[in-house]
Amino acid sequence: MKTFFPLFVDMCGKKVLVVGGGKIAEGRIKILTNFSAEITVISPKVTKYIEKVASTDSLRLIKRKYKKGDINNLAPFMVIAATDERHTNHKIMTEAKKLNIYISVADCKEECSCYFPAIADSDAYIAGLVSKNGNHTGVKEMIKKIRKIFLF
């Protein structure tokens, strides 16, 4: 089992490529926009939220399927593979790893070089939480508890 070191990184102005336009991609984008990342989304279809954010120029939207070379051309700090196609997510992971770029694969934790955490944020503190064993329900429950503590 891989072990991951928790690290907080200044994302201001860092390029992030999100491939996919559904609910998982939307959730990642909502978090990343709070940290001033420079987001590009590649997906033929996107949620209304992603479309709305793109219309305000808060992210760049490319409405098409992922193509080999997209990662190399954009040269992002991090890539999030969140399509609903396993083989596409695998291709994205392969390209990102060849370029030594951090990759979070929404449907396969074994292919990730970094995990995307659940976030609890207050004026004074921020916490990121991931599961060691893939227990997403446990993460949801624990992050709710942490958020309640932050509201003290």
Name which CATH class applies to 15-115: alpha beta
Domain locations along the chain: 15-115, 117-152
List the chain pLDDT tens, one digit each, 152 residues: 677 888 899 999 999 999 999 999 999 999 999 999 999 999 999 999 999 999 998 899 999 999 999 999 999 999 999 999 999 999 999 999 999 999 999 999 899 999 989 999 888 889 999 988 878 899 999 999 999 988 76
CA dist., res. 35 & res. 28, Å (int):
11
Write out the two tokens for 138: 């446990």
pLDDT for 19 equals 98
